[in-house]
Amino acid sequence: MSEIDNAELVTRLKAGDQSAFALLVEENASRIYGLALRMMGNEADAEDVLQETFLSAFKAIDQFEARSSLSTWLYRIASNAALMRLRRKEPEQVSVEEPLETDDGDLMPRQFFDFCCLPEDYLLRGEARDEMARAIEELSPTLRSVFVLRDIEGFSTEETAEMLDLSISAVKSRLMRARLKLRERLSTYFSQGPVIAETRSP
């Protein structure tokens, strides 16, 4: 959507044009749902976040100041909605092998299995992808939101900071911790000798 189209759509939305709202949903629903699904880990919660995002956007459109694009604004609403839900049902974090604890209470891993050089076809297998999805779900809401927006959705550090109302340094710090935690979590899975050996057999 071009800047002119974006500005025109905002004008129509603020005027209460229902067809403009339908267009907003049509243009952004699939991406917002994808974000919500990665954040929430299940379809039911993702659908709730999707609905909540557009309802919130419709109610708050008069407050939109066009300092960012409509899609970025929607991502911010969706991220906040997902975070609120995750925090309400955040599970107790369980770690293995006595990881180190930082000053702010985050658990940092002591050791990693280096799975960077595993065969690409192995990493792309459905089983490996599912394990990655489960590992992301185990991240705390604050780390998961940064990782999903930055590393999966591909937003810049600055855009991620804007969406989550964080400083750039906070985004970088949380992204680093998220990557480390994922690496620790996936080390257990990828270090299983028989599974890896299977991928190398003819």
Query: Could you read off the pLDDT of 28-42 as tens digits, one per residue?
Result: 999 999 999 999 989
Query: Could you read off the pLDDT of 54-93 as tens digits, one per residue?
Result: 999 999 999 998 778 888 899 999 999 999 998 887 654 4
**pTM, to two decimals:** 0.69
DSSP code of 93?
Answer: P
pLDDT band at 189; cut points 50, 70, 90? low
Tally of CB atoms within 10 A around 89: 9
Of residues 183 and 60, the one with the higher pLDDT is 60
Within 98-156, where are the H helices?
Answer: 120-123, 126-137, 141-147
Whole-angstrom Cα distance, residue 58 to residue 155?
Answer: 24
Sequence-distant (≥ 6) Cβ neighbours of residue 67 within 8 angstroms: none
Strand partners, 107: 101
List, in order of start, the domains of the chain with CATH numbers: 3-88 (1.10.1740.10), 100-200 (1.10.10.10)
Provide mean pLDDT across the span 113-125. 45
